[in-house]
Amino acid sequence: MPGVAECAGTQSALDLAIDLVRPGGTIGSVGVPNSVDHVDLYRLFRHNITLRAGVAPARRYLQPLLADVLAGQLDPSPVFSAEIPLDAVATAYRAMDTRQAVKIAIRP
């Protein structure tokens, strides 16, 4: 693959991204590193693979995407792995921290 998006932030996800990207390709990593203890820099160098990592600029896209969601032009449901009521926010954070959920929709 010419470019690979690594969004989980785990060692196995990064290793898989390195395995999938073709020589000369780029890995974009937006997953918060969680237990990533090594990166095979020699392999990246040998195959001319670029690794770019950083925080996703969510605030930059929030307003236009929210407008599309509210207008019914964009369905955000595929992004969410669970939905909980507002009074269970602490449960949602625990589920994401233990990797039982990725993104959780909070409902009033």
pLDDT in tens, 82-108: 889 999 999 998 988 888 888 898 888
Domain map (residue ranges) of the chain: 3-53, 75-108
Contacts (Cβ under 8 Å, ≥6 apart) of 65: 74, 76
The CA distance from 60 to 69, in Å, is 16
CA 33 to centroid of chain Cα atoms: 10
In CATH terms, 3-53 corresponds, of 3.40.50.10950, 1.10.3720.10, 3.40.50.720, 3.30.460.10, to 3.40.50.720
Taking the whole predicted model, whether its pTM rises above 0.85 is answered as: no
Task: Give the pLDDT confidence of 34-62 residue by residue, as tens digits.
Answer: 889 999 999 999 999 999 998 878 888 89
